[in-house]
Amino acid sequence: MRSRPVSVTGVRSETPTQCTIVLDWEPEAQPGQFVMVWIPGVDEVPMGFSSIGPSAAITVQRMGDATEALCALDPGDRVGVRGPLGKGFELLEGKRCLLVGGGNGVAPLVPLAEALVAKGCRVYTAVGARTREELLFIDRLAGIAGPAPEVATDDGSEGHHGFVSNLALRLMDEFRPDVVYTCGPELMMRKVADACWERSIPFQASLERYMKCGIGLCDACACGRYLVCRDGPVLTGEHLRGVPDFGSFKRGPSGVKVPFAAPDGGGSIGIGLGSED
């Protein structure tokens, strides 16, 4: 499908480093799918949906040129959208679900939580950020039926002091979820994944890789034998078992391997792809 122009109907600052852009667009999207967003003259970049429905929205973490340009948009401006693309989260019915989000990775978990509740699931959420100012969508999550979101901050300014992966491990043993859904920095997700594998809890993780074509042609988004744009971005624990890339390296725009940096021992609540190219 070709990129088509849609109007921006609202731009909201969420945290000092994150903004939400509301679009005059009603895509037929599943939670976890993504869209290639084109800002002419700047870039075309992959973004997940933070709202699905009559006015879809994306929530953007400021990282560089494209994300700064997105947060600088005004209502009435237009962007190109190509999507929805990829495979989203698989929605289960009537299950006990634990959702673990780090940094901007919380964004796609909000429409997921809504959809799971609609399917009769009991939804527990664990949300992490570097500091309390950067905690995303606590209010939206609190508004969804179920227990209040559990919070972790790296600096201890709110909730559990430390990584959300550690909080998630505790909640796994407390709530005994049937399934875990996670999105965030890959080292965080890897910790959650290891814990799920140990406990034989199925999980689904939303991955990020450098994307160019978005339609399974160019191989830029390779993660082991999977193409994240085609087979993901959501991959299951079964997919990810034995994939050497997962939690270890991504690929830069040239295809070279770029290890995930673990400056503070891993699991830090970075955003985006977890390390720079």
Partner 1 sequence: MDGPDISVDLCGVLMENPVMLASGVLGETGPSLLEALEGGAGAVVTKSIGPSPREGNPNPTVVTLGDSLLNAMGLPNPGMEAYAEELEWLRQGSEAPVLASVFGTSPDEYAEVAARLAPLVDGIELNLSCPHAKGLGAEMGGDPAMLEQVVRAVVDVTDLPVLAKLTPNTGDIGALASAAERGGASGLVAVNTLRGMAVDVEMAAPALANTYGGLSGDALRPVGVRCVHEIAGMTSLPVVGVGGISNHIHALEYIMAGATAVQVGTAIRTDGPRILGRIATDLRDWLADHDHSSLADVRGILVRGGHR
Ligand X SMILES: Cc1cc2nc3c(=O)[nH]c(=O)nc-3n(C[C@H](O)[C@H](O)[C@H](O)COP(=O)(O)O)c2cc1C
Q: Which residues bind ligand FES (CB under 6 A)?
A: 211-214, 216-221, 227, 229
The least CB distance from residue 239 to ligand X, in Å, is: 24
Residue in 91, 218, 249, 272 binding partner 1, rule: CB under 8 A: 218
Q: What is the side-by-side strand order in the sheet with 57-61? A: 43-48, 34-39, 78-85, 4-15, 18-23, 57-61
Question: Is residue 272 a contact point for partner 1 (CB under 8 A)?
Answer: no
Compute the distance between CA of residue 103 and CA of residue 68 in angstroms, rounded to an integer: 17
For 3, 7, 36, 204, the CA distances from 91, given in Å and listed in that order, are 28, 30, 23, 10
The residues with which 13 forms a beta bridge, in sequence order, are 19
Interacting residues with ligand FAD between 83 and 122 (CB under 6 A): 104, 107
Binding mask 32-61 for ligand FAD (x = CB under 6 A): --x--------x-xxxx---------xxxx
Compute the distance between CA of residue 27 and CA of residue 53 in angstroms, rounded to an integer: 7
Residue pair 210/36 in contact (Cβ under 8 Å)? The answer is no
Residue in 224, 249, 272, 275 binding partner 1, rule: CB under 8 A: 224
Question: Is residue 258 a contact point for partner 1 (CB under 8 A)?
Answer: no
Compute the distance between CA of residue 62 and CA of residue 14 in angstroms, rounded to an integer: 11
Applying CB under 6 A, the site for ligand FAD has a residue count of 26
- The SS3 of residue 160 is strand
The least CB distance from residue 84 to ligand X, in Å, is: 21
The least CB distance from residue 228 to ligand FES, in Å, is: 6
- Name the residues that contact ligand FAD, by CB under 6 A: 34, 43, 45-48, 58-61, 63-67, 104, 107, 208-211, 233, 272-273, 276-277
